[in-house]
Amino acid sequence: MSKVPLIFKDYQENIVLALCVIISCIFIFNNDSNFIKNTKSKSVDKFSFLYAPFNWLDNQLFLNKKLEVLSSENLKLNLENQVLKVHETENKRYREFLNFKKRDNYIFMGADVISKGVSSNMSSVVIDRGLEDFVKINSPVLSSRGVVGKITSVSANSSEVQLISDVNFRLSVKIVPDEVEGILRWIRDDICEINEIKKISDIEIGDVVVTSNLSIYFPPNLPIGEVISIFEKSDSSNRTVRLKLFSDLATLNQLFIVNEGI
């Protein structure tokens, strides 16, 4: 009998392994029994807290990945939205220009602004049309909404445009429908002024200002702006009219040169 403990001690690991295999086989072949099912449920309930940290970590990793994907999609949508806004703005400008062109049978040449200078009060821009495009000095330049200036210098592939905002720019204009004529000069921002207007003239807020027949380089009836105020002096028979330009000089991108043969 004394040999049994010695045998168990020598083969302890093998005996334990054999018992584990036998118990595992019993569990496997009796997997559908109620006893096994109850044992599994109780084990899961007792040791479920061990799985909590791993489940939390999996959830965090999933959420971080999901957030990364959503952030990427959001960035793509924002970029697409910005592109659509740019296209919408460009289409609006071209539609405005086409509507303007229908009213008057002028010949226009499109040009892109390639330089706006560095001064705070922008008085000129450079466009990508020049001698090779038959551009000439003093040719009128318009945006899709109206007059913005004229060509003052020309090179092979570019030209400089003197804007209405140049303090030396002058333009013969008329106020419709009363056909009152005068000389336009820039004041500030998009505000211009016409002086020496007779008080007897019938001018109202909202009247449109266009180029007159007296202009040397500009054809008549090109739109310029809209009357916003009228000033009168008690000691004078004249009054001053202020107008707001149709074109925003600070956001010029595409311009149009009026060619000869209009």
CATH number of the domain residue 123 falls in: 2.40.10.340
Domain identity same for 116 and 156: yes
Going by pLDDT thresholds of 50, 70 and 90, the confidence category of residue 158 is very high
pLDDT at 35 over 50: yes
The answer to whether 111 and 254 are in contact (CB under 8 A) is yes
The answer to whether 209 and 224 are in contact (CB under 8 A) is yes
- Which range marks the domain in which residue 67 is found? 58-103
Give Cα 13 to chain centroid, integer Å.
76
> What is the reported pTM?
0.60
- What is the C-alpha separation between 183 and 21, in angstroms, rounded? 108
- Average model confidence (pLDDT) across the chain: 78
- What is the C-alpha separation between 168 and 9, in angstroms, rounded? 113
Residues 6+ apart with CB under 8 A from 255: 110, 111, 112, 113, 125, 127, 141, 142, 143, 148, 161
Domain identity same for 157 and 196: no
Domain identity same for 191 and 236: yes
As a whole number, mean pLDDT of residues 134-141 equals 93
Output the six-digit token pair for 215. 């202009």
pLDDT the model gives residue 262:
41
Report the share of the chain in percent with pLDDT over 90: 34
Domain identity same for 236 and 221: yes
Tell me the one-letter amino acid at 65: K
Where is pLDDT greater, at 134 or 44? Answer: 134
The answer to whether 183 and 172 are in contact (CB under 8 A) is yes
Domain identity same for 217 and 233: yes
SS3 of 31-87: the string is: CCCHHHHHHHHHHHHHHHHHCHHHHHHHHHHHHHHHHHHHHHHHHHHHHHHHHHHHH
Domains: count for the chain: 4
- What is the C-alpha separation between 90 and 82, in angstroms, rounded? 12
Where is pLDDT greater, at 140 or 93? Answer: 140
The answer to whether 194 and 211 are in contact (CB under 8 A) is no
Where is pLDDT greater, at 35 or 134? Answer: 134
- Is 148 part of a structural domain of the chain? yes
Domain identity same for 20 and 44: yes
- Is 99 part of a structural domain of the chain? yes
Report CA-CA distances (Å) from 259 to 89, 124, 134, 224, 252: 26, 20, 9, 18, 20
The answer to whether 261 and 236 are in contact (CB under 8 A) is no
